[in-house]
Amino acid sequence: MDSCTDKEEKPAKFVWVNGPIIVGAGPSGLAASACLSEHGVPSVILERSNCIASLWQQKTYDRLKLHLPKQFCVLPLLGFPEHFPKYPTKDQFISYLESYAAHFSIQPRFNQSVQSAEFDSSCGFWKVRTQDLEYISRWFIVATGENAEPVIPEIAGIGRFHGPIVHTSAYKSGSDFAGQRVLVVGCGNSGMEVSLDLSRHGAVPHMVVRNTVHVLPREMFGFSTFGIVMELLKWFPLRLVDKLLLLVANLTIGNTGQLGIHRPKTGPIELKNFTGKTPVLDVGALSQIKSGKIKVMEGVKEITRNGAKFMNGQEKQFDSIVLATGYKSNVPTWLKGSDFFTKDGMPKTPFPNGWKGQNGLYTVGFTRRGLLGTASDAIKLAKDIADQWRTDQDCRTYSNIVLVKNCTKK
């Protein structure tokens, strides 16, 4: 441990972490740390930004509420305050996460962007490098999320456009676009909600629907659609549940194909489970589409200086473009020497078994099942590490971080 194997200039210091290193202080990293501390296992969280839950604090729009009812978004060991509504606002969710971190005395190391992490088989430890330190531990937990980086699509001509182009991660409110004609590229939950927000602020959104998508009502018969699905899946096969869902959806919100939003052939839950493509839960955009306040457009052929040409030959002028084109994992850019993840940065082993890799590697929050999946992973990995922790007396002979020493480069 005393010699430094680094060949590059940085980092100049080692930090020995006596407990797992967790990368990411979003809900998943916090849940993992809380569950570990419940078992008496200390951990260190490395977070690239300057706050917890940076996705929620810095990259989401003002009108965002949890898409799912709060009982499906709660982290392990500490519930939401009782007065929270069924669908907490983003500010309420952030305040919950802040109380959660305070309750479990979680103090991430901020401004620590993990640039590489690799298992060193010669010594049996993970070496996790940030811009200024190298952290070393037996266990390494990846909690950087499925939404670590925005996806920016390549669209012909986009460099020519005269106006602002923003990804939804930088979009805050439709008030910034009042009176404008806005091209919204993407029709997932974010594309629909941003279009709704724009139309409520007096903009004229044109939402591009290039692919098929399932739109479902957020609630059916007064109950959350997600909750109904969870119950039905306990009793019925997945495909039957999908059929029931689509039957009710067609009865309540009508045939979305007539609005230009065509359904995939595969049912919504089957599609979600096998491809990760989330159905859109409608929170009001459909009625705006029906009333013509949100225009639905076919795929974009090219962006022009003043607007866009569409696949159907139409050409329209726009003042701004919002890219509601989603996010991706960033794990492949920094995790070295492991074949646990796909090239898209998701565990190759699907839920519920994608939480544990080899040599002390764990993941939390890569289940395509939102915060429910996070809770499931965090509980399992904490127990697994705690079992090793208890049987390994050596682990407990150090305090949490015991060594910060200068490294002599070879």
Ligand X SMILES: Cc1cc2nc3c(=O)[nH]c(=O)nc-3n(C[C@H](O)[C@H](O)[C@H](O)COP(=O)(O)OP(=O)(O)OC[C@H]3O[C@@H](n4cnc5c(N)ncnc54)[C@H](O)[C@@H]3O)c2cc1C
- Which stretch in 99-107, 220-228, 252-260, 367-375 sits in contact with ligand X by CB under 6 A? 367-375
Hey, what are 397's tokens?
């002979």
- Which stretch in 11-19, 26-34, 97-105, 312-320 sits in contact with ligand X by CB under 6 A? 26-34
Interior/surface letters 98-115, b for 16+ CB within 10 angstroms, e for the rest: eebbeebebebbeebebe
Q: Are 41 and 389 in contact (CB under 8 A)?
A: yes
Residue 397 C-beta: closest distance to ligand X, Å: 28
Report the alpha-carbon distance of residue 106 to residue 51 in Å, rounded. 12
27 vs 307 by CB, closer to ligand X:
27
Q: What are phi and psi of 16, to 5 degrees?
A: -85, 120
48 touching ligand X, by CB under 6 A: yes
| Residues shown for the chain | 410
Strand order in the sheet with 300-303: 300-303, 307-310, 315-317
323 touching ligand X, by CB under 6 A: no
* Among 29, 191, 347, 354, contact with ligand X (rule: CB under 6 A): 29
Number of chain residues interacting with ligand X (CB under 6 A): 34
Hey, what are 120's tokens?
């060193």
23 touching ligand X, by CB under 6 A: yes
Residues 178-207 that bind ligand X (CB under 6 A): 190
Per-residue contact string for residues 117-156; x = within reach of ligand X by CB under 6 A: --------------------------xxx-xx--------
Coarse DSSP helix, strand, coil percentages of the chain, rounded to the nearest 5 percent: 30, 20, 45
Q: How many CA atoms lie within 13 A of 237 on its CB side?
A: 2
Place of tokens 């200086």: 305
137 vs 190 by CB, closer to ligand X:
190
Report the alpha-carbon distance of residue 227 to residue 111 in Å, rounded. 38
25 touching ligand X, by CB under 6 A: yes
308 vs 379 by CB, closer to ligand X:
379
60 touching ligand X, by CB under 6 A: yes
- Which stretch in 66-74, 215-223, 248-256, 345-353 sits in contact with ligand X by CB under 6 A? 66-74
DSSP summary character for residue 17: E
- Which stretch in 19-27, 209-217, 249-257, 293-301 sits in contact with ligand X by CB under 6 A? 19-27
For ligand X, the binding residues (CB under 6 A) are 23-29, 46-49, 53-55, 60, 64, 66-68, 73, 113-114, 143-145, 147-148, 190, 330, 334, 365, 370-371, 374
